[in-house]
Structure formats: structure tokens, C-alpha cells
Amino acid sequence: MIDFRNSEVIENPYPHLAELRKFDKPIWHPELNVFLAATHRDANEVLRNKGLGRIYQDRVPESEWQVFNWLHSDSILDSEPPKHTRLRGLVLKAFNRNRIESLRPEIARITDSLLDEISNKGGVFDLISDYAEPLPVKVIALLLGFPPEDEHLLRPWSQAIVKMYEVNPPLDHQREAQKAAQEFADYVHTLMEKRKQVPQNDLITELTQVHEAGDRLSTHELIATCVLLLNAGHEASVNGFGNGMVSLLQNEAQRDLLIANPDQHSETAVEEFLRYDSPLQYFERTATSDIEISGVAIKQGQKIVSLLGSANRDESVFANSNEFDVTRHPNPHIGFGAGIHFCIGAPLARLEMSVSLPALIKRFPNLSLAQDPIRRETFSLRGYEKVLVKN
């Protein structure tokens, strides 16, 4: 059975996931006590089936995990209707498509500024730390209303928290997550209180004021929402962009095609970035009643995992599924999930990548890998630590 902690699986999970798809139904993983849904059909069904819920189980002891627990139990990601419906409705009043689209000029400005800094360095640069990472962090910090001098705090907090989404995280990661949750929650709470006294034109201010039929976000819900928006607002962008660029630079024909027509192919290229090497690979749900998926009985209380990266390589849905194609269309990937838990940060991630990808290609048309990229040692959230490139 597949071992999600095995270094070979983390480096290249796709041959292993292809073996799971051959069963053509969810299969039981005895070590993890979960079903694995590997086909596009089944993984998509896991995300959409109303008999499955995103049920957060508090970590123990409570004295060590109290803040981490409510950051999740009071978030959109780890709640189900009717609470999920209420929270998502309130949040989308502030974090809506019009507000996101209004960020386009600022995203273009930040992108150009980062590219100018890279140009001034000359030679080799890190595609992750110099470009893919600072752009979405700066954008989400601007959107939420975090002071620029505190931007450096956000990514480390986020990375410490999301490491807990991996399979059986080690003790040192657990301790780091507890510390990050406490520090992040305290920081957002302080900023929230300041915005209540002196409102500003930012998302934290709007979230403190938003209401529907007399209902508002509680303090815990608001803090949890800000933490989730930070994570959802940049993790997919950083990893999706980094994974896609490595795939592009390792494929000379596709690289040349995109360089020749960056404006024409960038939109489909972004979607292929998200499909071919998906930033989110593992999403777990729990049966809230007895259900059946592809003839397999899932009993109430049992867990099943949507393997998104596997679904996005399903040969029955994607022609030449193991080939990277920046012109692929249609491209019905589920890289951002599906159903009620479709990634709330997806529109922002798509906007950032649709601006930053052609800008990078136009500025550095001779871009190539300077050395083998260094991958993060994680399966669920798939990305790179460092990608050194040269122009």
C-alpha cells in the first residue's frame, strides 16, 4: 500500500497513484484507517457528496492545542452546514470577486517591483523566495490590512500550521504549529481590536463590520477566517506557481511555446500548472451517514481521502494525462477542490498567476533551471523549497 511519508513517493507520487487508480474504486488503507479515492470520478464525488463532512477532531491535550483547535473548528474549511453556510456567506460579502479583481493593478505593480529587484541582482535567483512567495504574501497582507513591516511573520506562521495537514506529523512540527497558532491568533486579535477603534479600508475592518440578518462573525470566527484567508490566499499560489514553473522549465517544447505567445497561452498554462503537479494532493472527509461510492460502502464515522493530484492525472478524463501541455483545453481539473469546500482563495490565486506568469516570461525569455530544484518534504501540500533559475 502507498506510503505517503516515503521519500520516493513524495518526490514523484504519480506512478504510485496510477496504481491506485487501477482498482477503479475507493480502497482501504489499513495503516491510516481511511479509504483512498484516486480516480477523478471518485475524488470529485468525495468532495461533493453531502453524506460526507469536514469533521474536525480536537487535538489533545486541550491545554496544548486549545488555540490551534478553535482556529480550525471555527473556520470555513473545517465546518459543515449550517455553520459553514453562515460563515462562507458572511466572508464572501467582504472577500468577493469584485474586490479581488480590483487588486489587479496592485498585483501588476508588486509583480513589476519584484522583477525589477531580480533584474538588479543579475545572474541566478530563487524563483520561490524571490518571486513566487513574496507576491501572494504581499497581496494577502495588503488585502487583510497587515502592516508591510510585519509581512515577514506571515509565511512562517502559515507553513508551521499547514504542516499539521500532513500524514502523522512529527513531534517537532506539532510544537511549531502550537506556537504559530498562538502567535498568529494573538497578532490578528490585536489588529482586529485596533480596526474596531480606527476602521480602515481593509478586509479585517470589513470582517469586523459584516453581518447578515443580524448575524456577525464571533471573535474566534473572525480570527480563524483571517488565518484561513492567509493560508488559502497564498499557499496555492506559491506551490502551484513553483510546481508549474519547474514542469515548464523541464519541458523545452512547452517552454518555447509559452515564451513565443505568453499572452495567448498564459490562461491555459495556469490551469495546467494546477492540474499537472497539483499543490494540494490529500483532502480528508468523514462519513456523516452510511454512503456508497463506486460500489464501496463507507460507514458512518469512516474517513475517505480525495487524492486530488491523482484525479488530475486520470487517463479516462485527461488525454495524455502524464504530458504537460500549456494549451490543454478543456481542463476539468479539481486542483482547487469542488463542492462547498471549493478553495475560497482560488479566484485570487488564479489572478495572481495570470498576471505574474506572463510578466516573468516576458522579462526573462531565456529562463532555465540553474540546478536541480529542492522539493519540500511534504505530500499533502506539494511544493518546492528552492528553485534556482538563470536567464
Catalytic residues, by residue number, are 232, 235, 237, 343, 352
Residue 361 has which C-alpha cell? 516570461
For 158, the 3-state DSSP assignment is helix
Q: Looking up cell 506557481, which residue turns up?
A: 241
Residue with cell 490529500: 282
End-to-end CA distance of the chain: 42
Nearest-Å Rg of the Cα atoms of the chain is: 21
In the DSSP assignment, the letter for residue 148 is G
> Whole-angstrom Cα distance, residue 49 to residue 247?
32
Closest by Cα among 214, 173, 172, 207 to 188: 207
User: Residue 25 has what DSSP assignment?
Assistant: S
Among 285, 283, 278, CA closest to 349:
278
* Residue 328 contacts residue 69 (beta carbons within 8 Å): no
Burial 231-261 (b: 16+ CB within 10 A, else e): bbbbbbbbbbbbbbbbbbbebeebbebbbee
CA–CA separation, 310 vs 328, rounded Å? 18
- For residue 294, give the 3-state DSSP assignment: coil
67 neighbors 160 (Cβ within 8 angstroms)? no
Inter-CA distances, 253 with 112, 119, 231, 358, 369, Å = 27, 25, 34, 17, 15
